[in-house]
Amino acid sequence: MVNKILKRFYTFLIFLFLYAPIIVLIVFSFNNSKSRGVWNGFTLKWYIELFKDSQVLKALYNTILIAISSSLISTILGTIAAIGIFYMNGFSKKVILNLNYMPVLNPDIVTAVSLMTLYRFLKIDFGLLTMLLSHITFCIPYVVLSVLPKLKQMNKHLPEAAMDLGATPMYALRKVIIPEIMPGIITGGLMAFTLSIDDFVISFFNTGHGVSNLSITIYSMARRGINPVINALSTLMFIGMLILLLIINKRADINNEERG
């Protein structure tokens, strides 16, 4: 009984440590003061100001555009790469897997400077395109690592059985492999989306004049004091991601019940 109470208390402390900063941020998004340490009454003015701040809204637009585009492209490319790696054998498979680990293990600053050097060498103008390409590059390995475990759980002979029954390779891919690994694909896509929204270093080094995402905008604000509208925006983004996760988990439960 005591062990059970201690375990629950320990779990509570961990989650408190993780979510206390977010709770404070949400509370102070309703604070009627620019101070981040003094409560001065309840207000919704920062939420109203948020939709009047053109700089933040433009940064949010760029962030969402890049995040959605890079997550979709990297999910498609990463899934195809994961399937290819799964069916490889021997030394070549180990080499490709290690190459896939490199961007994950590399410090962000190394990846950022490397990509910046490549774009300069290729004489590509810095802007939205270079930021998008950079985000796709660092998101793909995470998608591969999310999809591979689901491929390993799948019966390797299922696609072969489908093709023996007359299915074409593409039909077997769409109707057999993809449904089996869909949880991994969704996880990889969500990870790519959140990594893209969160990224600062790679975006900072590979953006162009007049193109800024939220992380760069907040960094530039930090020098003169962060506008409280960022608290309101962060609260809305947190709630949005929470709702998205709940919907996905609900759909996953429904699919599991249908299969059961």
Do 95 and 222 lie in one domain? The reply is yes
The pLDDT of residue 36 is above 80: no
pTM for the model stands at 0.84
Residue 163 lies in a domain: yes
Report in angstroms the alpha-carbon separations of 162 from 104, 118, 174, 177.
35, 43, 11, 10
The pLDDT of residue 155 is above 90: no
The pLDDT of residue 144 is above 80: yes
Mean pLDDT (the chain) is 87
CA distance 3 to 10: 10
Identify the pLDDT of residue 63. 92
Report in angstroms the alpha-carbon separations of 132 from 6, 28, 65, 203.
47, 33, 9, 9
Do 223 and 235 lie in one domain? The reply is no
What contacts 148, CB < 8 A, 6 or more positions away? 82, 85, 86, 184
Enclosing domain of residue 59: 53-227
Q: Render pLDDT for 47-75 as a digit per residue (tens, 0 to 9).
A: 988 888 888 889 989 999 999 999 999 99
Identify the pLDDT of residue 258. 57
CA distance 37 to 24: 10
Identify the pLDDT of residue 256. 62
Structural domain count, the chain: 2
Do 184 and 242 lie in one domain? The reply is no
Do 216 and 130 lie in one domain? The reply is yes
Do 258 and 133 lie in one domain? The reply is no
State the alpha helices, DSSP H only, in the chain.
Answer: 2-28, 45-50, 54-86, 90-105, 108-121, 128-153, 158-164, 169-172, 178-198, 201-205, 214-222, 229-259
In this prediction, residues 195-210 reach a mean pLDDT of 89
What contacts 38, CB < 8 A, 6 or more positions away? 31
Residue 184 lies in a domain: yes
Residue 153 lies in a domain: yes
Q: Render pLDDT for 186-197 as a digit per residue (tens, 0 to 9).
A: 889 988 998 998
Most confidently modeled range among 21-30, 90-99, 123-132, 169-178: 123-132
Residue 218 lies in a domain: yes
Do 193 and 131 lie in one domain? The reply is yes
Identify the pLDDT of residue 143. 94
| Structural tokens at position 11 | 């779990």
CA distance 179 to 150: 11
